[in-house]
């Protein structure tokens, strides 16, 4: 597995990481087989994956606990990334808290659940519209000085927010959705990251599983699967979006590869500062995804994939918390 510098602050990671969310939350079968999830994490380490991504709200909390158990005895070989800032309100709805007090309370909880004395990369999961990012980053800078976190990042932040945060303390990475299914970052976010020397960590690089070609109907998904309420998986949108998979599958046949490998290889080809975190809870899928590290697409194949039309439907039912 190739190693890259994630941004310009000195953090080295494997150029393919492992997103751990689906092991515990939101997708079909989440939380049903922790033993297989632990095997997947251990196999990832064996294959040279170093970047492992979680968040306090995945579960909530149980995904961090799972990752902490799995990484016991392997801490010096891995980079742990987790996130704070999405909170549950009394009425059960979600809110956002970027206050310095919550930053400190959250990091202590994550350190305990992960069983470590430091977090390598600590993201603000969503921007808090009521707290200036400068205040949040001030608290993160203090945690860096104290050694409780090594680096910090932002998730789903707007370009101007990234600039404001970076002016207070250098941002190491920005996490946002990016794939052949979601190319929004190319317009404004990626240029700012390249200008400032910030890494990009694309989540859902396989389009929430859609780019694997395995999902043709929401009937394949559990009743509590998040994707059932995702606009891109609904009705006419889903039917229209199958054309995207068909283009990916055609290139995969040319290379004797899988659609997932092609989709990841395309993303890796977009820049050396990019470290996608495909998620899976299965060893077989992990091994398939890691195979993308060695897959080289031709200029014609990259052009074919790059010309795919945008998908039908928004990427979330509520886009309000994004890009702010």
CA distance 299 to 212: 22
Which tens digit of pLDDT belongs to each residue from 122-181?
999 999 999 999 999 999 999 999 999 999 999 999 999 999 999 999 999 999 999 999
Return the CATH number at 115. 3.20.20.100
Which tens digit of pLDDT belongs to each residue from 127-137?
999 999 999 99
247 and 303 Cβ atoms separated by less than 8 Å:
no
Considering the entire predicted model, what is its pTM? 0.95
Total structural domains within the chain = 1
pLDDT computed for residue 51 by the predictor: 98
Q: Is residue 86 part of a domain?
A: yes
The catalytically annotated residue of 58, 122, 152, 178 is 58
Q: Quick check: helix, strand or coil at residue 226?
A: helix
Which is higher by pLDDT, 298 or 324?
A: 298
Which tens digit of pLDDT belongs to each residue from 233-254?
998 999 899 999 999 999 999 9
Mean pLDDT of 36-63: 97
Q: Is residue 301 part of a domain?
A: no
In which band, very low, low, confident or very high, does the pLDDT at 82 lie, cut at 50, 70 and 90? very high
Q: Is the pLDDT of residue 92 over 80?
A: no
Q: Is residue 239 part of a domain?
A: no
Q: Is residue 235 part of a domain?
A: no
| 94-103, 164-173, 210-219: least confidently modelled range | 210-219
Burial of 48 (0-12, 13-18, 19+ CB in 10 A): middle
In which band, very low, low, confident or very high, does the pLDDT at 217 lie, cut at 50, 70 and 90? confident
CA distance 293 to 69: 27
pLDDT computed for residue 320 by the predictor: 85
Instruction: Give me the domain span that covers residue 74.
Output: 3-207+271-296
Q: Is residue 178 part of a domain?
A: yes
Q: Is residue 279 part of a domain?
A: yes
Degrees (nearest 5) of the Cα angle 136, 23, 52?
50
pLDDT computed for residue 229 by the predictor: 86
Is 58 part of the annotated catalytic residue set?
Answer: yes
Q: Quick check: helix, strand or coil at residue 304?
A: helix
pLDDT computed for residue 324 by the predictor: 87
């Amino acid at each position: 597995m190739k190693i890259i510098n994630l941004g310009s602050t000195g953090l080295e990671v494997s150029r393919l990481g492992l997103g751990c969310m689906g092991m515990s939350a939101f997708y079909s079968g989440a939380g049903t087989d922790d033993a297989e999830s632990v095997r997947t994490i251990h196999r990832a380490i064996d294959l040279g994956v170093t970047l492992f991504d979680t968040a306090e709200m995945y579960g909530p909390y149980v995904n961090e606990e799972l990752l902490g158990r799995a990484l016991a005895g392997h801490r010096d070989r891995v980079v742990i990334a987790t996130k704070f800032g999405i909170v549950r309100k009394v009425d059960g709805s979600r809110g956002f808290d970027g206050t310095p007090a919550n930053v400190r309370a959250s990091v202590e909880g994550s350190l305990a659940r992960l069983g470590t004395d430091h977090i390598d990369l600590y993201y603000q999961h969503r921007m808090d519209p009521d707290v200036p990012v400068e205040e949040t980053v001030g608290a993160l800078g203090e945690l860096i000085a104290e050694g409780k976190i090594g680096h910090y990042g932002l998730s789903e932040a707007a370009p101007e927010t990234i600039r404001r945060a970076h002016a207070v303390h250098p941002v190491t990475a920005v996490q946002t959705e990016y794939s052949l299914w979601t190319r929004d970052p190319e317009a404004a976010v990626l240029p700012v990251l390249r200008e400032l020397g910030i890494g990009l960590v694309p989540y859902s690089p396989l389009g929430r599983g859609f780019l694997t070609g395995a999902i043709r109907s929401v009937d394949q998904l559990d009743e509590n699967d998040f994707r059932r309420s995702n606009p891109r998986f609904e009705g006419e949108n889903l039917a229209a979006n199958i054309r995207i998979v068909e283009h990916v599958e055609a290139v995969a046949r040319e290379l004797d590869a899988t659609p997932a490998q092609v989709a990841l290889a395309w993303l890796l080809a977009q820049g050396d500062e990019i470290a996608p975190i495909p998620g899976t809870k299965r060893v077989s899928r992990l091994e398939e995804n890691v195979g993308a590290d060695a897959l080289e697409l031709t200029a014609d194949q990259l052009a074919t994939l790059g010309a795919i039309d945008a998908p039908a439907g928004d990427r979330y039912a509520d886009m309000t918390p994004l890009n702010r």
